[in-house]
Structure 1
Amino acid sequence: MKINLYSFKTDVVITIGERCLCWVDYYHGMLLIDVLTDSNSNSRLRYIPLTSKALKTDRVYKDGKPDPFRRLSVCDGGIIKLVCIITKKHPSPYPFTIATWTLVDIYQGRWEKDVNLTMGASEFFNL
């Protein structure tokens, strides 16, 4: 999949395992590079788009700061998670829904929604 690098905005840089460096745009996807691959290889830099459900909204904060309503992280075992706080009107603290996705296939760029980790504002505040 092609990406317009002019529209890609790095929100965070993370490491994946011992080999990969990843630039994340919370509204486009991830650019990964295997830092241990031969420098002559054509497949060093890869693009993985975010799940289409997370791409339904536009970037809210245009001041250069990362969006506080989205995070991507690497958990134990190299599992990549995307967390989105979805509101009807930004930057409203509620009502909101917290939705998470897991990158289940890094080679195909396939995300699955974590059904049991979706919660609404009332459920969150009653924890």
Structure 2
Amino acid sequence: LSYPGHFFRADTCFAHRGSSLCWVDLFKGMAVCDLRAVLRHGADPGFRFVPLPGECPTYDRGQMDKRECPLEAEEFRCMACVGGSIKFVAMDGYGERPGNEVTVNIWTLSPDLCGWKKGAVYHVRDIWASESHLSLGLPQNLPSFPVLSADEDDVVYLFFVDLEVTEDGDAEFKNHHVLRVDMQNKKVSHHPKSADEMPVQLFSSEILATECSAYLQ
């Protein structure tokens, strides 16, 4: 989707309350199509645009270059429908500040789709300090690709790569982990998975949050 001076690319899409379709550009906001008029009266569908929370920076892919935002949006943002509510998770400071200053933030969209309410916040440094992280002897690497649980409120899954720096200065892959962060109860659990068990392609814009739970079985 595009209009003069702007460009919209859907990173993900989902249904909301059985009567709306939502297309999300994680750099800009969400386009919502209300199908109730179509289903009831055969009228044209209604569209509206819902911007991201005000404190989240936005980017226009049609105009920016790699220096402005060299990251893919899915690396540090996700939006989904959780228990009937639309939620947005973002890793504030990702790619901009040291890892110990990065936070995982969750917002919930109001039922009328008019405003965001900020909820749970979790510091990456608290993930590193968790009993689960320390017991595995993992390095203080920055997790990425946050995914909202489809059926658990304020639970976020993150992708963690265990890398070891060799004497030559090269990064050597050791293992993948899925991190389950219960932000309300401040609990972190790590689930090691080999590359065969948990392909990197799982963490893409098409991921279903329920698949994360399946991979932890």
TM-score, normalised via structure 2 length: 0.47
- Conserved? CA contact 2:33–2:47, under 8 Å: yes
Tell me whether 1:20 sits opposite 2:33 in the alignment.
Answer: no
Deviations along 1:39-66, one digit per CA (max 9) or x if unpaired, are 534x611111111111x2547356xx65
**5 Å matches for 1:28-67?**
28-38=28-38, 39-41=42-44, 44-54=46-56, 56=57, 58=59, 60-61=69-70, 66-67=73-74
Q: Which amino acid aligns with 1:86?
A: D
Structure 1 runs not aligned, ≥5 long: none
1:94 to partner: Cα distance: 1.9
Which structure would you say has the larger RCO, counting Cα contacts within 8 Å and 6 or more residues apart? Answer: 1
Which of residues 103, 113, 120 in structure 1 aligns to 2:109? 103
The match for 1:8 is 8
Secondary structure, aligned partner of 2:99: coil
- Conserved? CA contact 1:8–1:25, under 8 Å: yes
Q: Which has the larger radius of gyration?
A: 2
Q: How many residues align?
A: 116
Cα distance change, pair 37–24 in 1 and its aligned pair in 2 (3 A): same
Which of residues 85, 89, 94 in structure 2 aligns to 1:83? 89
Tell me whether 1:119 sits opposite 2:122 in the alignment.
Answer: yes
Measure, in 2, the Cα distance between the counterparts of 1:67 and 1:82.
12
- Conserved? CA contact 1:14–1:23, under 8 Å: yes
Measure, in 1, the Cα distance between the counterparts of 2:123 and 2:89.
13
Deviations along 1:51-103, one digit per CA (max 9) or x if unpaired, are 1111x2547356xx652200001111x1111000122535x882311011110
- Conserved? CA contact 2:92–2:103, under 8 Å: yes
Which of residues 71, 80, 94 in structure 1 aligns to 2:78? 71
Secondary structure, aligned partner of 2:36: coil
Measure, in 1, the Cα distance between the counterparts of 2:17 and 2:111.
15
- Conserved? CA contact 1:12–1:66, under 8 Å: no
Measure, in 1, the Cα distance between the counterparts of 2:73 and 2:93.
17
Q: Which amino acid aligns with 1:111?
A: W
- Percent of pairs with identical residues: 24
TM-score, normalised via structure 1 length: 0.75
Cα distance change, pair 72–110 in 1 and its aligned pair in 2 (3 A): same
Measure, in 2, the Cα distance between the counterparts of 1:17 and 1:32.
12
Across the aligned residues of Structure 1 and Structure 2, the Cα RMSD in angstroms comes to: 2.6
